[in-house]
Structure 1
Amino acid sequence: MSAAAPTNSPVALRGTNELPAPVSGQRHEIGSPVGRLTYYSAGPDIPGKSPPLLLVHSINAAASAYEVKPLYEHYRRTRTVYALELPGFGHSERGEREYTVRMMTDAILVAVREIQNDFGRIPIDALAVSLSSEFLARAVSESPLAFRSLALVSPTGFTTLDKNTNWREGTRGKPWLRRLFEFPLWSDGFFRLLTSRRIIRYFLNKTWGSTNIDEGLLDYDYLTAHQPGAQHAPYYFVSGFLFSKDIPRIYNSLTLPVWMSHGVRGDFVDYTNKSQVEGRANWTIRVFSTGAMPHFEAEAEFIAAYDAFLAGVPSAPLG
């Protein structure tokens, strides 16, 4: 069973190591085979007809549920929404251990089972950002009856490089690189440098493709990246261990309705390999005139497009 405690709206605090809640609603702490997980939930007093919505943040040096905050706070007014913090990020367990594709996928499946404890076995809608799209797609491929629809925001796995993987198993992990990052003499210091406010702003500028970034996200990124053990999961990320070589096969195996969206600015604009799914009856692809976080930059337009997609998804009866 999860333990829930009410939380207030998060406030990005400067000059402190305290990590506030990234979103509103109830905070849940659960033990699981992949360690202690944190997720948040909220919804209207009178539940609507829509199934639950699960939101999953991206993977980077400073990832947290704050990355899905605009969607969480919007949808909580009309349906029950959940925001998961993956192992190694946010308020979830950040210990020094092996962080793998399997761990991240299992964390999503654990969250789905928690939602089923609340709602029964009705198929849910789920949305993930960037690399976490790969984990969510894999979770869907392994437990398809648990999901009604899948949304991928700026997903990885569609670049020119991915087109040439031949759907091989394994990851892009480089053990020597991870050992270099984790070398005790400089592991902590290098991560503090990597997550200085100036460097975080630099990477957000590259994500947005503009200097007009979300300042609240910048503040929260700085706080979450300065929690104890914050470097371990990101080091597995930058060493390639969380990128699957077989993700084109996973994407191609999906049969439920899939909504994919991406922007046209910044560092994340190579979607050459989307041609493998473009035109499929169950795939809808929407391009926004934004960077890689369209739900921050063009929130109203993003939500309208996502809602239009959801309106065409067959409904499942609520238990």
Structure 2
Amino acid sequence: MQVASTTQSDHAAVARAVTMPPPLAAHHFELADARTGRITCYADGPAGSTERPLLLIHSVNAAATAYEMKPLFEHYRQHRPVYALDLPGFGLSDRADRIYTPRIMTDAILLAANEIRRRHGDVAVDVIALSLGCEFAARAGTEAPNLFRTLALLSPTGFDRRAEAAANNGGGDKNATRAMPWLRKIFTVPLWKHRFFTLLTSRASIRFFLRKTFGRKDIDEGLLEYDYITTHQPGAENAPYSFVSGYMFSVHALKLYQALAMPVWMVHGVRGDFVDYNGKHAVEGLPNWTIQVMQTGAMPHFEQLDKVVAGYDDFLTRAAGA
């Protein structure tokens, strides 16, 4: 593993930083290895704090960055060491032209979590992940269970009817994805590769998709503006094309969730396009799982931060007692 300060960034990262502010106003550092490429992490917290570190993991979509976790980062930076990362292909991390998979994303989370643990006396970290980031966090949690004390899942993917059907079928390759190579091939034709993504990420388009996510007309305007900025950077289309082509969705995500050994807190809303949790009964009865439903869309921490924080802190208290 290589750890570099922001002053040692490569030329591409420096060029991006000129036109793109970081998603979080905090100290940031870089990690890199051959599997993930270079990833950017953000850190803050009270000086000398002995509290357990918290790692925040954003979702994946056309405009994903650590900004998606900003409300939680801003809250917890006052109370404990808090970290967030830009997953590979997003934000200030490497946006190389390659196929992005759960393996790459999981390796990035493990890379960041191991570095955080090293910085904090080898203690296990708490993790909060959002949407598709939950699948990557769950995979990391099954592969390195001692690395994470708890795992919180905000609006996790992998509980829909397709995931439930895959779980009921049994067997299968645990690394299988829903990849559609033919679709990615169409998106990445050089003649229209960048042009199509530009149309997909106009302000009007971003607002349309955010309204579907929030399940209402009122959205977070700061998130919209940052989404526009990040989607108009060099290489911005590379990871999203893997996303829309199915390469990042695990066929057996539900089995990953069932295999988690640490305490798990799951929250989901009831509005918008992302409310299919038909398969959650597979984990509802597990003793290490707590499930909470909120009257929000898929970004509960933007809509009801106080309730999310109260629920999460209560979960941590109970997990520590257990």
Displacement of 1:280 after TM fit? 1.4
Q: 1:39 aligns with which of 38, 41, 48?
A: 41
Letter in 2 for 1:225: T
Contact 1:53–1:80 under 8 Å retained in 2: yes
1:148-201 per-position Cα deviation (integer Å, ceiling 9, x unaligned): 000010000000111111353211000000000001111100000000000000
Contact 1:24–1:73 under 8 Å retained in 2: no
Contact 2:31–2:111 under 8 Å retained in 1: no
Structure 2 partner of 1:282: 288
Letter in 2 for 1:53: L
Contact 2:265–2:289 under 8 Å retained in 1: yes
Aligned equivalents of 1:67 and 1:315: distance in 2? 30
The answer on 1:172 being equivalent to 2:173 is: no
Q: 2:258 aligns with which of 244, 252, 260?
A: 252
Q: 2:318 aligns with which of 294, 309, 312?
A: 312
Structure 2 partner of 1:13: none
Displacement of 1:2 after TM fit? 2.8
Aligned equivalents of 1:148 and 1:113: distance in 2? 13
Aligned equivalents of 1:54 and 1:156: distance in 2? 19
Aligned equivalents of 1:200 and 1:19: distance in 2? 18
Contact 1:192–1:226 under 8 Å retained in 2: yes
Aligned equivalents of 1:30 and 1:75: distance in 2? 23
Structure 2 partner of 1:159: 160
Aligned equivalents of 2:216 and 2:70: distance in 1? 20
Percent identity, aligned pairs only, is 54
Q: 2:210 aligns with which of 188, 204, 210?
A: 204
Structure 2 partner of 1:52: 53
Structure 2 partner of 1:81: 82
Aligned equivalents of 2:259 and 2:206: distance in 1? 36
Aligned equivalents of 1:80 and 1:212: distance in 2? 31
Aligned equivalents of 1:61 and 1:17: distance in 2? 21
Give the direction of change, closer, same or farther, for the CA distance of 1:315–1:96 in structure 2 (3 Å limit): farther
Question: Runs of 4+ in structure 1 displaced over 6 angstroms?
Answer: none
Displacement of 1:30 after TM fit? 2.0
Aligned pairs (5 A) from 1:286-305: 286-305=292-311
Kindly indicate which of the two structures has a greater share of residues assigned to helix: 2
Displacement of 1:213 after TM fit? 0.3
Q: Which secondary structure does the structure 2 equivalent of 1:2 belong to?
A: strand
Aligned equivalents of 1:19 and 1:315: distance in 2? 43
Structure 2 partner of 1:10: none
Give the gaps of 5 or more residues in structure 1. 7-15
Aligned equivalents of 1:45 and 1:17: distance in 2? 29
Q: Which secondary structure does the structure 2 equivalent of 1:36 belong to?
A: strand
Q: Say which is worse superposed, 301-310 or 112-121, in terms of deviation.
A: 112-121
Structure 1 partner of 2:145: 144
Aligned equivalents of 1:237 and 1:111: distance in 2? 22
Displacement of 1:31 after TM fit? 2.0
Please provide the CA RMSD for this pair: 1.6
Q: Say which is worse superposed, 87-96 or 20-29, in terms of deviation.
A: 20-29
Count of paired positions: 306
Q: Which secondary structure does the structure 2 equivalent of 1:3 belong to?
A: strand
The answer on 1:186 being equivalent to 2:188 is: no
Letter in 2 for 1:184: P
Structure 1 partner of 2:269: 263
Displacement of 1:313 after TM fit? 1.4
The answer on 1:27 being equivalent to 2:33 is: no
TM-score computed with the length of structure 1 as normaliser: 0.93
Structure 2 partner of 1:11: none
Aligned equivalents of 1:116 and 1:289: distance in 2? 35
Letter in 2 for 1:215: E
Aligned equivalents of 2:196 and 2:239: distance in 1? 14
Displacement of 1:26 after TM fit? 0.8
Q: Say which is worse superposed, 20-29 or 81-90, in terms of deviation.
A: 20-29
TM-score computed with the length of structure 2 as normaliser: 0.92
